[in-house]
A and B are shown apart, each in its own frame.
Chain A
Amino acid sequence: MANTTTLDKKQTDLLAKLSYAMALSGDEGEVRNIILDEIHSYITDYKIDALGNLLITRPGTTDKPLKVMLAAHMDEVGFMIAADDGEGLFRFEINGGIDLRQLPGKAVIVGKEHTPGVIGARPIHLTSVSERRDKIPLNNLRIDIGPGSNKVKPGDRATFATRFQRVGASIIGKALDDRLGVAVLIELLKHSPANLDLQVAFTVQEETGLRGARVAAFFFNPDLAFVIDSTPANDLPVWDDSENLSYNCRLGAGPAIYIADGSTLSDPRLIRLLEDTARNEVIPYQIRQPGGGGTDAGAIHKQRSGIPSVSVSIPCRYAHTAAGMARTSDFKQTIALLQATLQSIPQDILAQERR
């Protein structure tokens, strides 16, 4: 049986490279190039569309194969330099959803050259107790790269400077949302089943409103779609020992299958297919708690005349902060589940009643 829990060196190196890359919404080139490097010997053709989506079609070899779209987003949350205050200090805006409390004191990288900087915070010596109780508004935060450089300009993107690490069964890094999904998609592309027309989309601008997925789905016009993303695990013990009722999902419990989030009601036929496959193949899985949030599926399923869709996520603690944590087993089992599912999609799945 294949190793379904730990990472080999190649996979670790690829995840590290993807995590270190800077790909803020609207400027995803770094990640796109890593993907192209990784897959070029497996594909004959690709398209980079007007918004920057990387789109690859792998035709099936069977008669009238289903067109199945797979999507994972390349972009990450982060910052954009808004104004130069002089002396190497820069005002900045937020890209995507970031809790401002996470920012002071974080090391960052800025611009194409990854110029190092820090989001400054007045140290404890010089602040009052009452001052420390309040969160610091964005207006009062600056990225500080020190004087003497002319490399950073308004409009440059910035992100957290976080070292990628393997710790036992876990990985720690920035932008695991959704570089984990990107790595899963690379794996699926390399071992794509012949029974389907696989339509692979590495999408842009998910964090700013599912914009890339929307146009990618229009282009592909698939029969159905799977979205691979990363969802927050809120599975730490509750402080008063009461039962944690809103964990969203849990690390180490396998891929998280979506039934309902803020933007999509997953197609019940696809949910059932994933669950049946997981049970048959003895792959652990969990149901992500129905609730808010959203993935690229929110844009894909409403495209054209409607596209039955479902999302599967790799759980990640501390999403949208400088450092997230994920389990290698969840990553590997997500690959295993999707691979097995793609191979077993019945040709007539959409002829079944949607229920």
Chain B
Amino acid sequence: MKDLIQKLTETFSPSGYEHDIRQVIRNEAEPLVDEIKVDALGNLIARKGKLGKNGKRIMLAGHMDEIGLIATHIDENGFVRFSGIGGLYPHTLFSGRVRFVNGLTGVIGGERIADVSKTLSISQLFIDVGATSAKDCPIKTGDVAAFDRPFFDMGRRMVAKAMDDRVGCAVMIEALRNLKSSPNEIYFVFTTQEEVGLRGAATSAFGIDPEIGISLDVTGTGDTPKARKMDVGLGRGPAIKIKDGGMLSDVRVVQWMIRTAEKAKLPYQREVLEAGTTDATAIQVTRAGVPVGCISIPCRYIHSPSEMVDTNDVDNATKLLVALLSAPITL
């Protein structure tokens, strides 16, 4: 599992440019499924099982994309101005290293500010790719980059860029490996463009027309010094989402998840996230409406180059997912 997470998090694929991660995931998933395809927005859709007696058509969504940077202008001295793809926090950027999708690297510098207690805004930051003029700069407007930071195994905890949401993708792949049989027709969808507005989930859900939707994503925690109050912490089990900034989980789905976790004696946490949301939000309002829920992997320092998760949480999220999918479902 750790090797898989390392492989997934060390791939560079910001929103809209998911081809590399799609190939990595495809290599993992293809031998495990009955059918696999890529749709118009680049979602990787893998089907496992056929609708059996008492079965349901289920869509799982874990997003492949990660937050990133996009070049907006190359100045006359060859510095690259940029804006964000998805929610970049300016205070996580200065002196960070980035890698462009085309393989080129750069470091983020900033304009001088008189008051060092202030944070540089994104418009005061630039990427230095080692160029000396606009002419010899190998980057052009519109080129896309992501954080460059290696995966870090701390034993019980793991740290990486893009843990959001490659850890969700890893849980789905592991669940595929461990799922022995199921009466359900399950679509494992590795979605695109989540970080810019849940776009891939919206269109893939339209195509699949599921009876139940579940997203696998990270959620924030309240267990660090002076954190925002939140009843979720690392190592206390996967979080069963009840509400977030964009969605109210279907009550029946929440109860089904809790019932299943308790029966399987798996630890779990009840999640109420005040800001932020997941692919389930888009799935819920597709076509005539879909009952949805979300299994969250608690994660510290989300949208920074060093996102931290707990190994046991990842394992237990996988077990919970397998337990949910293995049996007939009555909501």
Question: Which B residues are in CB contact (< 8 Å) with A305?
Answer: 39-40, 203-204, 206-207
Closest A residue by C-beta to B196: A265
- Residues of A bordering B, CB below 8 Å: 243, 245-246, 259-260, 263, 265-266, 268, 271, 287, 289-291, 301-308, 350, 353-355
Closest B residue by C-beta to A263: B197
What string of 1s and 0s marks CB contacts (under 8 Å) between B216-252 and chain A?
A: 0000000000000000000000000000000000000
Question: Which A residues are in CB contact (< 8 Å) with B19?
Answer: 353-355
- The answer to whether B17 and A355 touch across the interface, beta carbons within 8 angstroms, is yes
* A291 and B15 contact, Cβ closer than 8 Å, known pairs A304-B203, A306-B203, A306-B204: no
Interface: B328 (CB within 8 A): no
Contact of A245 among B81, B196, B199 (CB under 8 A): B81
A147 to chain B, nearest CB (A): 50
Comparing B67-75, B179-187, B307-315, the segment that makes contact with chain A is B67-75
* A291 and B76 contact, Cβ closer than 8 Å, known pairs A259-B142, A265-B193, A304-B206: no
- The answer to whether B40 and A289 touch across the interface, beta carbons within 8 angstroms, is no
Additional A-B contacts beyond A259-B142, A290-B142 (12; CB < 8 A) = A243-B75, A246-B123, A259-B141, A265-B15, A266-B16, A268-B17, A290-B70, A305-B206, A306-B206, A306-B207, A350-B40, A355-B17
Question: Which B residues are in CB contact (< 8 Å) with A302?
Answer: 199, 202-203
Question: Which B residues are in CB contact (< 8 Å) with A301?
Answer: 41, 199
Q: How far is the CA of A28 from the CA of B38 in the complex (A)?
A: 39
Closest A residue by C-beta to B208: A305
Question: Which A residues are in CB contact (< 8 Å) with B85?
Answer: 260, 265
Question: Which B residues are in CB contact (< 8 Å) with A243?
Answer: 75-76
Q: How far is the CA of A221 from the CA of B317 in the complex (A)?
A: 38
Q: How far is the CA of A98 from the CA of B277 in the complex (A)?
A: 31
Question: Which B residues are in CB contact (< 8 Å) with A259?
Answer: 70, 141-142
Q: How far is the CA of A291 from the CA of B70 in the complex (A)?
A: 9
Question: Which A residues are in CB contact (< 8 Å) with B76?
Answer: 243
Q: How far is the CA of A271 from the CA of B200 in the complex (A)?
A: 19
5 interchain pairs, CB-CB under 8 A: A245-B72, A265-B196, A287-B140, A287-B141, A301-B41
Closest A residue by C-beta to B85: A260
User: Which residues B50-81 have CB closer than 8 A to chain A?
Assistant: 70-73, 75-76, 81
Q: How far is the CA of A259 from the CA of B123 in the complex (A)?
A: 19
Question: Which A residues are in CB contact (< 8 Å) with B197?
Answer: 263
- The answer to whether A290 and B204 touch across the interface, beta carbons within 8 angstroms, is no
B220 to chain A, nearest CB (A): 24
Closest B residue by C-beta to A223: B40
* A354 and B142 contact, Cβ closer than 8 Å, known pairs A259-B70, A291-B72, A305-B206: no
